[in-house]
Amino acid sequence: MLLVIDIGNTNIVFGVYRKKRLIHSWRKVTGKKVILGTYTRDVLREFDLKKIRKEEICGIEISCVVPSLLPAFKRFCSYLFLINPSVVIPGKNTDVRILCDNPSEVGADRIVNAVAGYSKYGGPLIIIDFGTATTFDVINIKGEYMGGVIVPGMRISAEALFERAEKLPLVKSLRPDKVVGKNTAESIRAGLFFGTIGQIKEIISRIKKEIKISPKIILTGGHAELVKKEIKGAVIDPYLTLEGLRLIYEKTGH
């Protein structure tokens, strides 16, 4: 079995594959520190739910955009599984050609998504990942990573309003019933949601004009389900990153 771990700024997502099938996945809020005992108990509890024995894990692939946490996760993998994990390094240990000024600057999760997206859907693609930031990644017909767009996610936009404006409440990113809010919370929610939708549509439109071809649109990440009805023709793929980690592990010959 293969354990894949996607370490993001907001959440850490774990997945367990038996051959090519994802048999279990779960997420934890990203903390500033990795406490071996806490993660050990959490993983063993999740394994117990699905009757997975830790001895069955024969490989681990990690994607990480929080470099300060990576050494601790490597120690965690060695401690619990006696395995030295493989770590995705954009531009080095993936077979994706990155057409950017500095390939090492591209987030590992974005290249992982590109691998999975192109493998599953072909190209060209726009992959929109709703995480701490909302990212737009453009993959051409050859499977090359062309570049992308990064904007603040709905959650951090809501938190910024709450922190900077004394009278504004912190609201959850829920789909509002209407644009014109009748109270402050409704008004913020409408602004966050419909502002995000307008932003997505405008960015997609400009990308299409720039690359002069109509790509498939793939949505993944935390708010993908929330916006899917508003993005015409988009495909939802909630496990895209985990699938990419599996593919990279297999392609690198582990």
State the CB neighbour count (10 A cutoff) for residue 103. 17
DSSP letter (8 states) at residue 197? H
Nearest to 220 by CA among 114, 119, 123: 114
Q: Hey, which residues are catalytic here? A: 109
Helix (H) or strand (E) holding 158: helix 154-164
CA–CA dist 24, 35 (Å, integer): 22
Q: For position 226, what pLDDT does the model report?
A: 87
Q: For position 98, what pLDDT does the model report?
A: 95
Structure tokens at 194: 């419909």
Q: Which domains does the chain have, with CATH numbers?
A: 2-87 (3.30.420.40), 103-244 (3.30.420.40)
Question: Tokens 């108990």, residue?
Answer: 41
Nearest to 18 by CA among 41, 49, 45, 52: 52
CA–CA dist 209, 194 (Å, integer): 23
Q: For position 129, what pLDDT does the model report?
A: 96
Burial of 100 (0-12, 13-18, 19+ CB in 10 A): middle
Predicted confidence pLDDT, tens digits, the chain (254 residues): 999 999 998 889 999 999 999 999 999 988 777 677 788 889 999 999 999 999 999 999 999 999 999 999 999 999 999 999 999 998 777 889 999 999 989 999 999 999 999 999 999 999 999 988 999 999 999 999 999 999 998 887 888 877 777 666 677 767 888 999 888 888 888 888 899 999 999 999 999 999 999 999 999 988 898 898 999 999 999 999 999 999 999 988 66
The residues, ordered by sequence, that sit 6+ positions from 65 with a Cβ below 8 Å of its Cβ are 7, 8, 9, 107, 108, 109
Could you tell me the strand order of the sheet in which 21-29 lies?
Answer: 21-29, 11-18, 2-7, 59-64, 86-87
| In contact, 100 and 108? CB cutoff 8 Å | no
Nearest to 126 by CA among 136, 134, 118: 136
Phi and psi, residue 22, nearest 5° = -75, 115
Q: For position 157, what pLDDT does the model report?
A: 83
CA–CA dist 236, 239 (Å, integer): 9
CA–CA dist 87, 239 (Å, integer): 18
CA–CA dist 122, 143 (Å, integer): 7
